[in-house]
Structure 1
Amino acid sequence: MKKSIICLFLCFLVIGCKKNPLDITPDGKISMKDVFSDQVRTEAFLNTIYGFIPYYYTAYQEWSFLAGATDEAQDAEVGNNPGVVWDWITGRLTPSFDPLAAGVDGTVNQYPTFWSGIGYANIFLQNIDNATVKGEQFKSRLKGEAQLLRAFFYLELVKKYGAMPVADKPFDNDFNYTGLKRGTFQECVDFIVKDCDAVIANPNMPLRITIENERVRFSKAIAYAIKSEALLYNASPLWNPTNDAAKWQAAAAGSKEALTALTAGGNYKLADDYGNYFLNNADFAVVPRDRETIYERRSAFPGSVMNVPSKGGIWKLGACPSQELVDSYDMQATGEPAITGYEDADHLKPIINPASGYDPAKPYEGRDPRFYATVWYNGALYDNINGNVHTVATYAGGGDQLIKSPPNRTNTHTGYYLRKFLDPKLPTGQDQVSGWKKYRLAEIYLNLAEAENEANGPTAVALDAVNAIRRRAQMPDLGGLDKEALRERIRRERRVELAIEEHRFWDVRRWKILDKTDKLVTGMEVIKNPDNSFSYKRFVTERRNAWQDKFRIFPIPIADASIVPDFSENQNPGW
């Protein structure tokens, strides 16, 4: 931790300003006084903090999605090239090796990155009040951004590693790290919420960004999103083992506050078209086209990694949606789940809901429209491009066929291809350009639905929140459910609404169901019959070894555990 902050701060001194700050004094040194006595350097310092926000999307090693490390998908690199997902599913996580730290971009190594972001934010906040910045309102906004960045880094840190020391000031050079103590998860969340509340109360923080050249900057809306997510995680079973109702009440109140503030006057609202929403970057204007995105992280490493083989130009496939994800989509006409579970441990014998209208001989007909916006399946029509409609053919012998053995990088491993995020109208080989929606309004609706149901049961507030999401997708409302039944439906709703968006990885951990979801993934083998009909056979495509309880929370890296006695004495469970 100490080493990371010092080294990265030295990098800031070299590259943080247009003019090399090392040239401003005869001995080549620059002090904090020098930095904060100049507005350009002060802003450059804040920009450096923003630089620690990690990339998501395909930023992991070999342009993989995190979804490949969940039951949402199998990564096409598995069986072809050792990499981040293979290392993860084979259980190689240890205190000295984090498979998910490998990536196209160095910020994927999140432990030192998050601590560096916190350290820089603390330095900034210690100095900003006395900084030479024109206008108290502008100074107040810079301070609010630093507070919110600190809250962001803390939330990302504790989601992954559990409770950490609460540090609201920079560590001095002579700080005694041997005396550093881990706080509780509640204390960390209280600290995060305190920063968010300060930003929410700050009149100089804009609710949303309306200028294109400020797209990377944090807004007040992000404070509401972070607060909502932090309180929900704090109330969840992993961090609320006694099911303290007060935590659920706080989570419900935080998300309700967020929705009330964000949707007032139509400032934020759900996009009309779920599928098209993910194909476009957020725009920034006083009256924007996109009012759902709260924060978008543009990818520094876009890649033309996904397609279907018969369209040509494919380099590597990335995430192949799993049969488990496909099974999670309801039937549109009835609003009922098609598949409610499995009779066997290998998920080869689905439990079909007779009230749903699902036909196993026509498994892709009549599903939730979000299914068609997320998954390419056998028979799917690959959008009308200049009058041409391509029919996806994953059946044996088809142009997009499943290849089970030996697998390759370009053909599906599961019988499905990823549709979400991918614009089929882009010319072959052109990179996908849409940014990663880190926070969006739909998540806050779902946070409220879950927290309200756990706090007060299936109230109108809980149902209105989840049904707002379903109505956007043209799905029937939920109703007439008890608390337990609504809990299950809300979890299903999160799964389909937020599919492949890196929520599932954390949701199954905070719900403590990792051992039920991550032992394997399955696919669908499709056979074309002589009469041109199709037969469907489920198969296990991948067995995994990262589902035990210890994988709910990442181990504290061994380097820090060796420096801080409290870390080694209170290492995370199982490590």
Structure 2
Amino acid sequence: MKKITSFILLTLGFVQFSCNDDFLTTTDPTRISSDLFYQNQTQFEQALNGVYGQLQGITNTAYLGQEFMSDNTTLDFNPLDRGGAAGWEAFEFSTVNPGNGEIATLWNSHYSTMYNINYALEKLEPSTIDAAAKSAIGGQLKFMRAFHYFNLVRYFGDVVLVTKTLKSPNEAFDLVRSPQAEVYKQIEADLKEAANLLPVTYPASGRGRVTKGAALSLLGKVYLTLKRYPEAVSTLKQVLPLGYSLYANYKDNFDPTKKNGVESVFEVQYQGGNDLGEQSNFVYVFAPRLSQGAVTGFANTTPSGRNIPTNDMIAAYEPGDLRKDISLQTSYTLNGVVVPIPFINKYRYPHTITGRSDNNWPVLRYSDVLLMLGEAINEATGPDAEALGYLNQVRKRAGLGELAGLTKDTYRTAVLNERRVELAFENHRWFDLQRTKSPSELAAFMNAYAAKEKTSPTVSRGGIAFNALDYVYSDFEYYLPIPAPQILINTKLTQNPGYQ
């Protein structure tokens, strides 16, 4: 918990984005004493932009715990470089332990952002800035706090719940993990307040900011996770009249020239094409490691080969599904040779500077809302015409036939698979599996997938056999371990069962 008490105010200030991102223009507030800051609306907006900025670092590696751990993706194994075996590769092979540096980064990055959120909220409360601006800023901060805690509670189970800044380092050593029920109670309260405070839309200069629709959509997802289905239904239905719609073309969701469009409920903002440091680089991380420029478009690149679509994922698409070729490709061509290694195609767009792509990251889309609503109705009252209608809207856009005559169980299976292919590689799969299965069911499911992947790996391992511990899933791996450094710093923190 040292990070919470020592992290300086607003570690990230944002610079100017493109036309849809220019609300992120700010100076660096860390150059001003915190006692002198927060004096006017501009400074509060700068502080808020810093919180938005921290989303980038968290999003850049979120695939590890949300896609990589699932049956959706694997890695382009490098037999000559085993440096990642104890770090990022462990998420693929289910060998994460408390000393893993990636989980320490995950924990610290969320809590350092939380400090900035709590500090800004404390300063906002007594401020006398314009009332409408105060409401909008407060709503965005409350959404962000809920968003981060929703991630943490699903990653780790019981987590430290901090909603105010600590006044001295000693207070950090008294912090303990709060039960999940308390964490979810705070998440729910923050999102309800955010929904009441936030506007439905912003002027063009504010596109990309959190809206009322984003708060309601995330709250609906929280209720779905908690299996509070009637509340999920009523909450998600409030999103329907807010002006969202499905793009006619699925691909438009990921086109950098169409950021924050009609289907976007919330996305993390990036900007490429310059040296300002706000670019995304997903295509470089996800392209096969020996593909050079065949995927990225720049011959002098060395991609990472992470988050490779699995054979199981590829097989999940129905014949004729228009989303498949948009989301993934099963091979690339280099120097006239076809190499049968699949890769994520969803974030592959032309850009002008090596390593500086312009893709935003979708967090909540309207199709997600429709599928959640259909699922919640099915769980609450069964697969009526309304629930089928929401599911079939998404299928129709994908060029697939309508489903009919489903039972509650077959609808449940159909909507989970629909979510898998519709939201592929957008960081939903692990949490979808987790919320729809018990720990023992999830372990059995993943072990069945692992048996197939070990028998016939998606990507050749260059003659290197699997380790005996690879792809062995246990019930306790429903949650990640608490990072070892946190327990060393604060002995009052307990470790998750199975990781002691």
Q: TM-score, normalised by structure 1?
A: 0.70
**Bigger radius of gyration:** 1
- Tell me the equivalent position of 1:118: 114
CA contact (8 A) 2:370 2:390 kept: yes
Name the CA shift for 1:78/1:255 in 2 (closer, same or farther; >3 Å).
Answer: farther
Unaligned runs of 5+ in 1: 23-29, 102-108, 236-246, 285-289, 332-366, 379-391, 403-411, 525-536
Q: Deviations over 1:32-77 (max 9, x none)?
A: 3x323344433333333223224466x349x989634432222225
- Cα shift at 1:233: 1.9
The equivalent position to 1:249 in structure 2, one of 220, 230, 248, is: 230
The 5 A counterparts of 1:91-170 are 91-99=94-102, 109-133=105-129, 135-170=130-165
Report the Cα distance in structure 1 between the residues aligned to 2:70 and 2:6, rounded to whole angstroms.
35
SS of the equivalent of 1:400 reads strand
The 5 A counterparts of 1:169-568 are 169-173=164-168, 176-177=171-172, 179-202=174-197, 205-212=198-205, 214-235=206-227, 247-258=228-239, 260-262=240-242, 267-283=243-259, 290-299=261-270, 300-302=279-281, 305=284, 306=287, 311=294, 313=299, 315-316=302-303, 317-331=305-319, 367-377=320-330, 399-402=337-340, 412=341, 416-423=342-349, 432-512=357-437, 513-517=442-446, 520=450, 541=459, 544-545=470-471, 547-564=473-490, 566-568=492-494
Residues 1:572 and 2:490 are matched in the alignment: no
Report the Cα distance in structure 1 between the residues aligned to 2:241 and 2:359, rounded to whole angstroms.
27
Q: Deviations over 1:107-150 (max 9, x none)?
A: xx2212212222222222222132253x2222222222221221
- Tell me the equivalent position of 1:239: none
CA contact (8 A) 1:225 1:444 kept: yes
Report the Cα distance in structure 1 between the residues aligned to 2:472 and 2:138, rounded to whole angstroms.
41
Name the CA shift for 1:481/1:225 in 2 (closer, same or farther; >3 Å).
Answer: same
SS of the equivalent of 1:567 reads coil
SS of the equivalent of 1:439 reads strand
CA contact (8 A) 1:42 1:131 kept: no
- Tell me the equivalent position of 2:45: 43
Report the Cα distance in structure 2 between the residues aligned to 1:165 and 1:490, rounded to whole angstroms.
33
Select the structure with the greater relative contact order (CA < 8 A; seq sep ≥ 6). Answer: 2
Name the CA shift for 1:261/1:523 in 2 (closer, same or farther; >3 Å).
Answer: same
- What do you get for the CA RMSD once the two structures are aligned? 3.6
SS of the equivalent of 1:52 reads helix
Name the CA shift for 1:453/1:175 in 2 (closer, same or farther; >3 Å).
Answer: farther
CA contact (8 A) 1:71 1:521 kept: no
Report the Cα distance in structure 1 between the residues aligned to 2:194 and 2:52, rounded to whole angstroms.
16
SS of the equivalent of 1:437 reads strand
Report the Cα distance in structure 2 between the residues aligned to 1:18 and 1:433, rounded to whole angstroms.
23
- Tell me the equivalent position of 1:349: none
Name the CA shift for 1:225/1:97 in 2 (closer, same or farther; >3 Å).
Answer: same
SS of the equivalent of 2:144 reads helix
Unaligned runs of 5+ in 2: 16-25, 271-278
SS of the equivalent of 1:137 reads helix
Percentage of identical aligned residues: 22
- Cα shift at 1:304: 5.4
The 5 A counterparts of 1:54-73 are 54-55=56-57, 59-60=60-61, 67-73=67-73
- Cα shift at 1:493: 0.6
CA contact (8 A) 1:278 1:420 kept: yes
Stretch deviating more after TM superposition (475-484 or 119-128): 119-128
Name the CA shift for 1:18/1:554 in 2 (closer, same or farther; >3 Å).
Answer: closer
Report the Cα distance in structure 2 between the residues aligned to 1:217 and 1:55, rounded to whole angstroms.
17
1:574 partner amino acid: G
- Tell me the equivalent position of 1:86: 89
Stretch deviating more after TM superposition (444-453 or 73-82): 73-82
Report the Cα distance in structure 2 between the residues aligned to 1:112 and 1:301, rounded to whole angstroms.
21
CA contact (8 A) 2:263 2:366 kept: yes
- Cα shift at 1:458: 1.3
Name the CA shift for 1:557/1:195 in 2 (closer, same or farther; >3 Å).
Answer: same
Number of residues of Structure 1 aligned to a counterpart in Structure 2: 455
Q: Deviations over 1:194-248 (max 9, x none)?
A: 111112222xx32134424x3453222221222122222222xxxxxxxxxxx23
